[in-house]
Structure 1
Amino acid sequence: MSFAMPCPRCQCVLDLDDEEKTHRAWCPNCGARFIANEPGLSPAQVEELRRRESDRRVPREQRPRSDAVRFEVEAPATALKVHGWFTLGCGILLGTVGVLFAVLFADDPEFHKAEKATRGEVLLVAGMQLAQGLCGVVTGTVMVVGAHNLTRFERIGWVKAAAVVGMLPVVTGCCLLGIPVGVWTLRLLNRPEVHERFDRRAAPPESVL
C-alpha cells in the first residue's frame, strides 16, 4: 500500500510505499533524502499540492546529476580497489616468505656456511620482509576500504587517506600504479559536485514533522 507526502525541500508530492515509512526516502525532483515518518496526506491535500507542484518543480538542468557523478567515481574507485588488492596480496606474500625464511634457514648451519651469514643476519632479513609484508597488508586494506567508501560517498577523509597511502612505495613496484591512481582520486574529490555528494551523505536526514 502506498501513501503520499510532500518532499520537505521542494514540496513535490511523492508516492511512497509503506516500507519507506521511518526509512530514508529520496526525492527524484530535487535529490533530497529524508525520513518518511508521516502517515501521509489526504486526497484533498494531495490534489492541492499537485496543483502547486508545477510552479515549484526544479528545472531539469538544475537537478543534481547523481547518476553522472556516481558514474564518474566508478573508474577511479575500481582502480583504487585493484591497487589495494594487489598491495594486500603482495603484503601477504612477502610476510609469508619472511616467516618461511626464518623458519627454514635461521638455524641451518649449512645455509649459514654457504651464504656466510649468521643467525642474526638471517633473522634480520626475515624480519624486514615480514615488516614490509605487514605494511602492505595495512595499506592494501586502507585502499580497499577507501575505494568502497568512494563508491558509497562516505568518509571522504578515509578516501583521501587511501589515495595518499596508495602513492607510497610500501611494496616494490606498487607505487608505479599508485601514483596516477592516487592523483586521479584526489583530483576527483576536489570537484564541487563530488564533494557535495559526500556532504549530503554525511548530513543527517531531514525529518518531516
Structure 2
Amino acid sequence: MENTYGSMNSPGGAGAKEAVMLPAILLMVLSAIALLLGLISVLQSFGGTDPAVAEALDNPDLPEGARQLLAGMTTTGGKLLFTLPTLLLHGLVFFGALKMKNLQSYGLSMAAAIIAVIPCCGPCVCLAIPVGIWALVVLNKPEVKAAFT
C-alpha cells in the first residue's frame, strides 16, 4: 500500500491545505499591513495641508492645469477618493486569502491572488507580486482546485 501522507493526493485535501497555507498567510499579512497604512492615510486626510504641497502650489512656474490637479488631489475629498478604493482592494485580498487558507471559495481566492499581482492595486506591491504569483501557481494545480469547497 502506497503512503500518500503529506502529498497533494492525500485524502481530505491535507496536501492542498499545506500548499495554500503559506501564500495565503503571506497575502493576509501584507494586506493587513496595507490596510493599517490605508487607515492611517484616511485619518491623515482630515489633517491640514502638507507644507511641501503648499510650497508647490505657491510656485509661479507650476502650470495652471497642474496647480488645479494638485489642489484637487490634496483636499480631504481628493485624498479619500484615492485612499478608499485601495482600502477596499486590500480588504478583498485579505478576505480572499482567508478563504484560500481554509480552502473555501476558489473564485474569491483567485481574485485575491490576481489583485495582489496587479501593480498599484495589491498590498505592499514589491512583496505582494511574487506572493501573488506563487498563490496563482498553487491555486491552478488540479489537486488544489479539487480540494476547494
Bin of the TM-score, shorter chain as denominator length:
0.7 to 0.9
2:129 is aligned with 1:182: no
Report if the CA contact (8 A) 2:30-2:123 is conserved: no
Higher Cα Rg, which structure: 1
Report if the CA contact (8 A) 2:28-2:94 is conserved: yes
Alignment of structure 1 residues 57-76 onto 2, 5 Å: 61=4, 63-64=10-11, 66-76=13-23
Alignment of structure 1 residues 60-99 onto 2, 5 Å: 61=4, 63-64=10-11, 66-99=13-46
Which of 120, 137, 140 is residue 170 of structure 1 equivalent to?
120
- Larger RCO (alpha carbons 8 Å, 6+ apart): 2
Whole-angstrom distance in 2 between the partners of 1:120 and 1:159: 37
Which of 99, 104, 111 is residue 149 of structure 1 equivalent to?
99
Q: C-alpha displacement at 1:115, in angstroms?
A: 5.0
Whole-angstrom distance in 2 between the partners of 1:66 and 1:145: 21
Whole-angstrom distance in 1 between the partners of 2:46 and 2:126: 27
Whole-angstrom distance in 1 between the partners of 2:129 and 2:83: 20
1:132 maps to which residue? 82
TM-score in terms of structure 2 length: 0.73
Q: C-alpha displacement at 1:90, in angstroms?
A: 2.0
**Consecutive unaligned residues in structure 2, runs of 5 or more:** 60-66
Q: 1:172 to 1:147 in 2, by over 3 A?
A: closer
TM-score in terms of structure 1 length: 0.54
* Runs of 4 or more above 4 Å deviation: 58-63, 111-115, 117-121
CA distances 1:37-95 after superposition (whole Å, capped 9, x unpaired): xxxxxxxxxxxxxxxxxxxxx97547526322212211011111011112211221222
1:159 maps to which residue? 109
Whole-angstrom distance in 1 between the partners of 2:141 and 2:70: 50
Q: Aligned with 1:83: secondary structure?
A: helix
**Consecutive unaligned residues in structure 1, runs of 5 or more:** 1-57, 106-110, 202-209
Whole-angstrom distance in 1 between the partners of 2:123 and 2:19: 27
Alignment of structure 1 residues 26-45 onto 2, 5 Å: none
Whole-angstrom distance in 2 between the partners of 1:160 and 1:94: 28
Q: In the comparison of the two structures, how many residue pairs are matched? A: 135
Q: Percent identity?
A: 25
